[in-house]
Amino acid sequence: MALSRPRLLGAALAVALEAIRSFFLPQFGNSILRRRAVINVGHPLDDAVPFNPRHSGKYMEFVKLWMSALYRLWQIYGDEALPELVGYVGDIRRLYTEAGSVYRIVHTTTDRPKENPDLRFALIHALDPHLNCVPSLHVLIVFTNWKLAAGFVSRKGGARSDAMARWLDRQRDEALAITESVLYVKQHSINCIGASLFYLVRRCPGFTDADVREAVRDLFASTEADLPAIGELRASIIEIYERLGTAFSRAPERGWRAHLLDFIYSFEAGR
């Protein structure tokens, strides 16, 4: 699709280059040169979600999710929608740029298993030195994709269609499933999720406080019985999100990045 549409191809290449510049290069460079601090942002409740390699496939679908959504919208609305679709891709690129503005200052990690129980895990561990945990690009991308798709459909007048409403619900369901997967495969902490939701409310158009609370309420809904500490886990994610929100409301002029950095450095100080 992109190869035959130059404007979209340009936007797609820009995302790929930004992913290299803002995600891969900072952490691979730091794993070799060790120029920046690496802070563990784990939470005691991370262990409440058992390591489950079966979720590695879902974990790896976060890029496929937004690309599939974009392609589906093009199938429905055609080339007349290309300017908006180019903007859609640009918004995904911005997530890498803004997350990278944190990664290039300080790196964050969590405890993850060293073994590779299958080929997917070997690929995950090979491509990700695990130094860019806050904010979580997985969480940022999947929920932004849902909101971008919803906004696009609403502007086109398709939100009233039952088929489109069901499709948008699936985008949200996939966002929740992929967010759950980052805990199951031990690539992120609940601290990463809470901090990422804080970012989204400030930077993702249409993503609201109500969306945060409903999303956290629905996390692990299908496996709730298997997670005895699910209430505590959800409450802790909300507490992290609210703590950052309170700090931001007291000093909004400092911007979202400064408050995320304060949050990260609080782990180094042992608070």
Q: Does residue 75 sit within a domain?
A: yes
Q: What local confidence, expressed as pLDDT, does residue 157 receive?
A: 80
This prediction has a pTM of: 0.95
Could you tell me which of 46, 38, 22, 39 has the C-alpha nearest to residue 240? 46
The H-or-E segment that residue 39 falls in is strand 38-40
pLDDT digits (tens, 9 = 90+) for 155-198: 988 766 889 999 999 999 999 999 999 999 999 999 999 999 99
Q: Where are the alpha helices (DSSP H) in 34-81?
A: 56-59, 62-77
pLDDT tens across 40-91, in order? Answer: 999 999 999 999 999 999 999 999 999 999 999 999 999 999 999 999 999 9
Give the burial string for 65-87 (b: 16+ CB within 10 Å, else e): bbbebbeebbebbeeebbeebbe
Convert the pLDDT of each residue in 107-165 to its tens digit. Answer: 999 999 888 888 888 888 888 899 999 999 999 999 999 999 999 999 988 766 889 99
Query: Residue 254 falls within a domain, yes or no?
Result: yes
Residue 18 CB neighbour total at 10 angstroms:
18
Domain annotation covers residue 166: yes
Contact in structure between 227 and 184 (CB atoms under 8 Å): no
1 located within any domain: no
Domain-embedded: residue 256: yes
Region 15-23 average pLDDT: 97
pLDDT at 271 exceeding the cut of 60: no
What is the count of structural domains for the chain? 1
Pick the closest to residue 237 from 254, 220, 255 (CA basis): 220
- Tell me the residue range of the domain where 30 lies: 6-268
Rounded CA gap, 133 and 106, in Å? Answer: 10
